[in-house]
């Protein structure tokens, strides 16, 4: 998301590796931070997955970000990354049971917050003469 955000906001060409049909389970960073903080208080030291249980295709992610940014271009599809896993979708039932954790920020809200962050960074970076 960070790469797409910066490329779209800077008007640069976005490249999607492979078909874009590969799916990822996107969890907003604040939800991950909250899970880690809770695990320090309630955790048993065991590993828990953090996820929504829902896969989102890279093509769908691109289209949502394009809509939110007003990005005018279509993506370029490059070769797939060697060894890339096609679908990653995590079951966070253990985190719910042991940590009473579940994600609270949905994909749409997470994209809006992420883009707002990168817009702010671009403004700050441009004022100081640096590219963020």
Q: What is the chain's alpha carbon radius of gyration, rounded to the nearest angstrom?
A: 17
Does 3.30.70.360 match the CATH number of domain 2-125? Answer: no
CA terminus-to-terminus distance, the chain? 15
In this structure, are residues 49 and 94 in contact, taking their beta carbons and an 8 Å threshold? yes
pLDDT digits (tens, 9 = 90+) for 39-72: 999 888 889 999 999 999 999 999 999 999 999 9
Residue 42: Cβ-neighbour burial (10 angstroms; 0-12, 13-18, 19+): exposed
**Domain coordinates in residue numbering, the chain:** 2-125
For residue 100, pLDDT beyond 50:
yes
pLDDT in tens, 108-125: 999 999 999 999 887 655
Q: How far is CA 39 from the centre of its chain?
A: 22
Task: Give the least confident one: 3-7, 30-34, 64-68.
Answer: 3-7
């Amino acid at each position: 998301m960070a790469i797409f955000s910066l490329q779209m906001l800077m008007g640069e060409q976005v490249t999607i590796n492979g078909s874009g049909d590969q799916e990822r389970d996107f969890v907003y960073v604040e939800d991950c931070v909250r899970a880690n903080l809770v695990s320090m208080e309630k955790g048993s030291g065991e590993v828990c997955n953090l996820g929504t249980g829902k896969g989102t295709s890279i093509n769908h992610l691109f289209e949502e970000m394009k809509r939110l940014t007003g990005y005018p271009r279509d993506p370029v599809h490059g070769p797939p990354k060697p060894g890339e896993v096609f679908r990653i979708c995590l079951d966070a039932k253990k985190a719910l049971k042991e940590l009473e954790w579940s994600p609270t920020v949905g994909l749409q809200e997470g994209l809006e917050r992420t883009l707002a962050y990168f817009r702010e960074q671009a403004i700050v970076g441009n004022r100081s003469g640096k590219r963020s």
